[in-house]
Amino acid sequence: MTEAEFLARLRTLPLHPGARGLTDDTALVAGLILTTDTLVEGVHFLANDPPQDVAWKLVATNLSDLAAKGARVEGVLLNLPLTDSRWDATFVDGLAAVLSAHECPLIGGDTVSLPAGAPRVLTCTAIGADAPAPPRSGAKAGDGLWVTGTIGDAGAGLTVARAGEGPADLLARYRRPTARLAEGRALAPLVHAMMDVSDGLLIDAGRMAAASGLAVTIDLARIPLSTALRAHAPDPLAAATAGDDYELLFACADAPPVPATRIGSFAPGSGLALIHDGQPVPLPPRLGFEHGLR
């Protein structure tokens, strides 16, 4: 059974109205925003990844989903395996760092033993409140497409991690993404559509356009690249398809109140188009990650 088939079966179950048909990364229950993700060793992270970075990513990627809804963070529930003492202790150090960096308290959770040799499986459920929750489907023709921060650093950081050498700045963006909580709260009441960039800028922008029933054009020359990335691997197309950025992508008519870059625009029609300095650029064969299988 594929993930799509499994989800189709789950959609036949009685669904909460706040589940929104299981089509969104978050659910809304009694005014709270809920999101949950599970990380699996060997699938989403490697056995020799630093445990403190696994902790960081587990929490920060969930908080990024709250940021995209403009939520205030209530806290997280964590379901954690008891494994070896050194790994577990270092993991808790990473939890302390990521919770502190995002001013996020621990609400509760569960700890379990695993059979010997089993891959670690870790779950975080993040809870937010007071979320304006702009949909990803609300972009309007004429809106600009904007993105916070810089794109592609995490993707280059993954290459650095695999190679075992390269710029530390890029590695840090891969291993320790920061959820854009403050930006999300400032933007959410003002924008027409918002989501976080997790699977890749192009695929996520295409999803926003499709959900909004519009066409979107992105100017590759405008994609914001960090100084470190410009020095290391200055390919905007690679940056825009790498994913793991955890920046906020949003549609709005006016200049936003937080630092962000206008990289494109929405128009009547459908589909994603690329330009570079005004010239059309063919779409790459792969726009980003189709699934969460990273």
Identify whether the C-beta of residue 275 lies closer than 8 Å to the C-beta of residue 281. yes
Which of 57, 65, 38 has the alpha carbon at shortest distance from 197?
65
**Given the rule CB under 8 A, which residues bind its own copies?**
1-3, 6-7, 9-10, 12-16, 18-19, 22, 24, 26-27, 29-32, 34-44, 74-75, 77-82, 85, 88-89, 92, 95-96, 99-100, 104-115, 118-119, 121, 123, 125, 127, 129, 292-293
Minimum distance, C-beta of residue 128 to its own copies, in the bound complex (Å): 10
Identify whether the C-beta of residue 45 lies closer than 8 Å to the C-beta of residue 292. no
Q: Which is nearer to its own copies, 119 or 271 (CB)?
A: 119
Q: Which is nearer to its own copies, 63 or 160 (CB)?
A: 63
Q: Which is nearer to its own copies, 49 or 74 (CB)?
A: 74
Q: Which is nearer to its own copies, 77 or 133 (CB)?
A: 77
Identify whether the C-beta of residue 209 lies closer than 8 Å to the C-beta of residue 253. no
Any idea which residue has 């530390």 for tokens? 168
Identify whether the C-beta of residue 20 lies closer than 8 Å to the C-beta of residue 104. no
191 by DSSP, 3-state: which? coil
Handedness of CA 236, 238, 239, 240 (dihedral sign): positive
Q: Which is nearer to its own copies, 24 or 53 (CB)?
A: 24
Minimum distance, C-beta of residue 98 to its own copies, in the bound complex (Å): 10
How, if at all, do strands 32-40 and 27-29 pair? antiparallel
Q: Which is nearer to its own copies, 22 or 168 (CB)?
A: 22
Could you count the other beta carbons within 10 Å of the beta carbon of residue 3? 11
- Point out which residues pair with 126 in neighbouring strands: 35, 76
Task: List, edge to edge, every strand of the sheet that includes 279-281.
Answer: 193-196, 248-252, 144-147, 261-268, 214-219, 271-276, 279-281
Minimum distance, C-beta of residue 140 to its own copies, in the bound complex (Å): 27
Minimum distance, C-beta of residue 116 to its own copies, in the bound complex (Å): 9
Minimum distance, C-beta of residue 37 to its own copies, in the bound complex (Å): 5
Q: Which is nearer to its own copies, 107 or 231 (CB)?
A: 107
Identify whether the C-beta of residue 247 lies closer than 8 Å to the C-beta of residue 194. no
Minimum distance, C-beta of residue 108 to its own copies, in the bound complex (Å): 4
Minimum distance, C-beta of residue 133 to its own copies, in the bound complex (Å): 14
